Structure 1
């Protein structure tokens, strides 16, 4: 009798699991909730889960609940490959929300492509999706290095800056930003008079910044992610450099403000609009979406969202929109993402195409500064 009861229970559990699976659409996540990039990945996951919750509260997609299964990659390339293979092995995952770490995104490209799995990555390097003909299954949700640099360098040109110096992290994000800056600076009338780099494990960038100081630039750009960028800014102030200091869009993060402290005041950062909603005109197409997102995020998590939360939120919502349009066939989801036009998100207004897997439009970017430890529009 006990054996029969056990078999009955197992059969019932299997039946319930199958029924639950039939009523669920599963997407996979590869967001870093521990490790050096947890300050990016955890907000990204929080934003993604908020999107899932809101979608399900409105009835899901065609009556089915959306489920996000996130595997923590820890910002590690090898673990990212293992994580994506685990998600692909489940068989019922129809799309992926990719890592915040550009390096991890690069590491899994071949696996994702080989599986014909649509993925919206949260890495900020253009190379993740270039050329789109060879990476047809992969899209980006963040603002890219070239996009934000165009806003940054336009500001330099307006200020009459001619000579710039660059300090970048020796990481895929840092080197991609360096390469694009070197490539495009001349078109804004800028000359790079010094270029230095540092390892992510470095605890002092004084030697590199001392060399930069000797080049007498009009402005300095620090292009990095993680704690190293705060160390670099502190070293910059300690050395008494008085050239204007620009940061990458990875610095538009509360954790950076906490680590850099007063040293962050007066820096300039190209960014999404999430920190300056009240300064936006009512005609801005993102204003209503941003206000609603911030309100709902604070209600759920009890704190304001970092910009990276918007990346995860946008990625899930765009995947959901593609599923509503195309169903759960992976190839059709990919085509539907590529066909998205004028999707108003938190990070940007998006429009993809066969030759554009970046999505984010230029007018989604603003230039911020820091005043008394808070983000504000630069004037």
Structure 2
């Protein structure tokens, strides 16, 4: 695809003020165009005109030969011009997926009405749009977050939501208004790489940005706008060396490059890392009601890195000396304090003040019991799993205390709260555990969608979190999840073991049925990847909602495609229902489950349909079949016996919770402290043979359960056994 953009003599007036004057652009090669200039240069006004938000006073706009002059925002978007905004414009209460679906489904009133009325054609169309939106989310790195409320994501991820939504409009011209504002260096680098990929497909990307180093790194062409007029047009190298631009920099009231992020006082680009923190500070400045002298771009803030050799310099004279015009650095302590208080309140972090002993960073005390918090699914669709976690934690904490506790006899005190299998309730629980119960660490349950939103809370409060859920997004990327760890296997590990077993058995085709949530979507992607590697055809793919109680329609569709086996990615009770649905559909092939399927809960729920079903799970669930006498095996057998003696039954999920308690016990003992940062550092390097199997965390991997822990199990005579 090749995009042509023709803008001729475009002018936008507000009374007697020309916000944009006689702007002309001819571009036909796709690529990335960077648009830079000082505050008030007219950059956003230009984007508003190009996107139909602001009608031009005169001039024309043509994209791919179509005249879009004064077309209005709706028609302009439909004809291939989409955009993002300086201030995020997302629907916070909607899921990430629905935010991205909106531009496509909203195009047709008939489609929306047909979906409400349940028309088959409309349902198929909506499902197709859902798949397309899912692919876009994968493309921008948001696949694992598809079913989370957009408001629960970190700022950098919300930026990606807005970009994905703009891409959903199939743009020929994509307008980005300060897409890198407020982002860390790694986030900026990832996004600029994405912009390059988009442009390589023929889309023209026009990016307004104060991060000039970022603009120069990604742009094929750079435009400099000043006082509404096009001052310069060229490559990054040409703009950096342009004498007109450099002269304008020190021309009194035309500070084109003075204060620009990425330029030193001589107009030479500086390293990204030297001004990164200024971008964050200036984002706060632009939103706080604090008077500040405006000087150049970005409210006068990022003239140079604080403490750098360039600090305090003035404009260079031709002889290399400096004039008396000094760049002003705006101090932002007041605005930072104000904005910090607003953020704390918005995140619900204003609970009771931490104790004096705990110094407000996780409730660490110098004596007495050590509080550990747990937010588990004790009600809602996965309450049976959450109840098993609670039992295991209580048993393991009791055992630790009976053996003398930690730190010279101090006892662990477990505080458990019900998250109701709801992300919002989990956020409330975690805040309450940290602020009011002063816990030194938090354990969350098996709900991945509940855990991801609270990772930012523990990062801010420096309180370690150990999750029992499986989604990779819980601990990845590690750079943003420094205080978050998890026990259960990654979906990729499950899928690799499962598909390898199918390949060994000579299976050539499978059907795939997964729950439509982050856990299920990640499993779906992992199965498709591993199936391709194994040379196994996926004959059909079906999904179901997390609250659905009958999947017979999906099961029948899979069976009609005649696969040799069906892979099911679901927790209980859904996994048991699906097993019955497949049996009722007269499927006689193999049924394979991932580790989330419920272990003994699956056998109880599926009843007779469970016989012969396979599952990837830690081998401890079938520890009775293991005949070796190693110490780790003996410890596993003792754990199963203790749990069974206490509760008269054993849950496969119990091992994950037991290992979370052991991990915290060892971290406290090895660090000799309950300080959050010290516990984090110790957990990150911890290695032990847990109940689930060997666990080895590292600075690069916060999900340390090793692949050799997993095996393929099968139900025989109503119980799980090793299949091989």
Aligned pairs for 1:27-106 (under 5 A) are 27-62=372-407, 63-90=409-436, 92-106=438-452
* Structure with larger RCO (C-alpha < 8 A, sep 6+): 1
> Quick one: distance in 2 between partners of 1:152 and 1:285?
28
User: Is the 2:381–2:547 Cα contact (8 Å) retained in structure 1?
Assistant: no
> Quick one: distance in 2 between partners of 1:265 and 1:195?
24
User: Is the 1:252–1:269 Cα contact (8 Å) retained in structure 2?
Assistant: no
Matched, 1:131 2:477: yes
Matched, 1:197 2:517: no
Question: Where does residue 253 of structure 1 map in the other structure?
Answer: 599
Question: Where does residue 338 of structure 1 map in the other structure?
Answer: 684
Q: Kindly tell me: are residues 244 and 83 of structure 1, through their superposed partners in 2, closer, same or farther at Cα, counting changes over 3 Å?
A: same
- Residue among 688, 701, 705 paired with 1:360: 705
Computed over aligned residues only, the root mean square deviation of the Cα atoms, in angstroms, reads: 1.7
Q: Kindly tell me: are residues 336 and 150 of structure 1, through their superposed partners in 2, closer, same or farther at Cα, counting changes over 3 Å?
A: same
> Quick one: distance in 1 between partners of 2:480 and 2:595?
27
Q: How many residues of Structure 1 are paired with residues of Structure 2 in the alignment?
A: 359
Matched, 1:324 2:673: no
Deviation digits for residues 267-319 of structure 1 (CA, Å, limit 9, x no counterpart): 11011123321211325553111111112222332x13201111111101101
How far is 1:76 from its partner? 1.1
TM-score normalized by the length of structure 2: 0.48
Alignment gaps of 5+ in structure 2 = 1-364
How far is 1:94 from its partner? 0.9
How far is 1:21 from its partner? 7.9
How far is 1:204 from its partner? 2.0
> Quick one: distance in 1 between partners of 2:718 and 2:518?
29
Matched, 1:262 2:613: no
User: Is the 2:513–2:554 Cα contact (8 Å) retained in structure 1?
Assistant: yes
- Residue among 107, 119, 132 paired with 2:453: 107
- Give secondary structure in 1 for the equivalent of 2:458: helix
**Greater fraction of residues in helix:** 1
> Quick one: distance in 1 between partners of 2:682 and 2:501?
36
User: Is the 1:25–1:64 Cα contact (8 Å) retained in structure 2?
Assistant: yes
Q: Kindly tell me: are residues 251 and 285 of structure 1, through their superposed partners in 2, closer, same or farther at Cα, counting changes over 3 Å?
A: farther
Aligned pairs for 1:198-347 (under 5 A) are 198-283=544-629, 286-301=632-647, 303-326=648-671, 327-341=673-687, 343-347=688-692
Question: Where does residue 10 of structure 1 map in the other structure?
Answer: none
Deviation digits for residues 127-165 of structure 1 (CA, Å, limit 9, x no counterpart): 211111111111111122111221111101101112221
User: Is the 2:396–2:661 Cα contact (8 Å) retained in structure 1?
Assistant: yes
Aligned pairs for 1:142-157 (under 5 A) are 142-157=488-503
Deviation digits for residues 150-198 of structure 1 (CA, Å, limit 9, x no counterpart): 1111101101112221000112211111122123321222222211001
Alignment gaps of 5+ in structure 1 = 1-19
User: Is the 1:234–1:260 Cα contact (8 Å) retained in structure 2?
Assistant: yes
How far is 1:120 from its partner? 0.8
> Quick one: distance in 1 between partners of 2:489 and 2:465?
16
Higher-Rg member (1/2): 2
> Quick one: distance in 2 between partners of 1:298 and 1:254?
13
User: Is the 1:285–1:344 Cα contact (8 Å) retained in structure 2?
Assistant: no
Question: Where does residue 374 of structure 1 map in the other structure?
Answer: 719
